[in-house]
Homo-oligomer: A and B are copies of this chain.
Amino acid sequence: MKKYALGIDLGGTGTKFGLVNEDGQVLRSDSIPTQQYPQIENYCDALCTGLKRLVANEGLSMSDITGIGCGAPNGNYYTGCIEQAPNLPWKGQVPFAKMISERMGVACTITNDANAAAQGEMIYGSARDMKNFIVITLGTGVGSGIVIDGKVLYGHDGFAGELGHCKIDHSGNGRLCGCGQRGCIEAYASATGVARTAKEIVTSSTRQTLLRQLADIDHITSKDVFDAAEKGDLVAKQIFDYTGHLLGQKLADFVHFSSPEAIILFGGLTKSGHWIMDPIKEALNENLMPIWKGKIPVSISSLKDSDAAILGAASLAF
């Protein structure tokens, strides 16, 4: 039996990939800069060279590899294509799984990054004993991987789980989102959304805050807001309160939808710890029907950040 798989975490900036064993250990890993390959063919060549090198360096051959899994923005599990991904250099419909399979001689499966994270949680993470749960990724965007009856939900067309593009502002004047809509939760409750909120407050008010002392307000990050909150900054705390409440309200909707056993959060914003988790939990419970109040645990992924995306992707192959 083949005991190894390759996992690819295809991101807008960089692509990380690794060789993974059945026990969920990333044995070897490497990366290439996604944006430096405007031609998809060149990108696939470079990626496959890298993947083959990992296999060879571990003293294995491709016949030891059971398959390749890839988490990518707008990756469609059904078609194997990356479709209209706004943050990637390649436009239109890219037959990514086919291109990798052909170069590697092994089947390649793709899905979006949040679905890969959910798959990883189910196989290696804190959802190992769960059949119904939701993973929310809070990074540059807000993604979601929904597991129902032990399977990732893909829906009719492969694109289920776009929670980040549910709106929290229907006025038409909400923040512009990468998807072209206004008012999506992603524009508020991602790590980037936290930075936008911070920048708005600093530039549009005269309130006292440590955030005003940052050298470059245009490049403020959620980490800066976290650091300020840790130092007792009231504006920073309020930013997390605001963000967490918006997200918690929306999570309540999703509990009403699929009645999960738990919600697992993943990604950069979770590093803000209790500052973001407390208001999320508070707003979630405030907005749940009585039968669910206090019963839906919200936790931070237990998977090691650097490995989780590769593991999740590789788990598609096992």
Q: Which 9 A-B pairs have the closest CB atoms?
A: A155-B259, A160-B259, A156-B261, A132-B156, A162-B256, A166-B253, A165-B289, A166-B256, A159-B259
The one of B149, B162, B256 that contacts A289, using a Cβ cutoff of 8 Å: B162
Q: Could you give, for residues 127-141 of chain A, a 1 whenever the CB lies within 8 Å of some chain B CB and a 0 otherwise?
A: 000011000000000
Rounded to whole angstroms, the CA-CA distance of A220 and B258 in the bound complex is 34
Indicate how many identical chains form the complex: 2
Residues of A within 8 A of B (CB): 83-84, 131-132, 146, 148-149, 151, 153-163, 165-167, 170, 179-181, 249, 252-254, 256-261, 287, 289-292
In the bound complex, residues from chain B placing their C-beta under 8 Å from that of A289 are 162, 165, 179, 181
Q: How far is the CB of A244 from chain B (nearest CB, A)?
A: 13
- Closest Cβ of chain B to A23, distance in Å, is 28
Closest chain-B Cβ to A252's Cβ sits at a distance in Å of 7
On whether the beta carbons of A290 and B252 are closer than 8 Å, the reply is no
Given A148-B153, A156-B132, is A256 in contact with B163 using a C-beta cutoff of 8 Å?
yes
CB distance from A241 to the nearest CB of B (A): 14
Residues of chain B with a CB closer than 8 A to A252's CB: 166-167
Which chain B residues lie closer than 8 Å to A256 at the CB level? 161-163, 165-166
- A156–B249 contact, CB under 8 A? no
| A-B contacts besides A132-B155, A166-B252, 11 pairs, CB < 8 Å | A132-B156, A149-B151, A157-B291, A158-B259, A159-B292, A160-B259, A161-B256, A163-B257, A165-B289, A181-B287, A253-B253
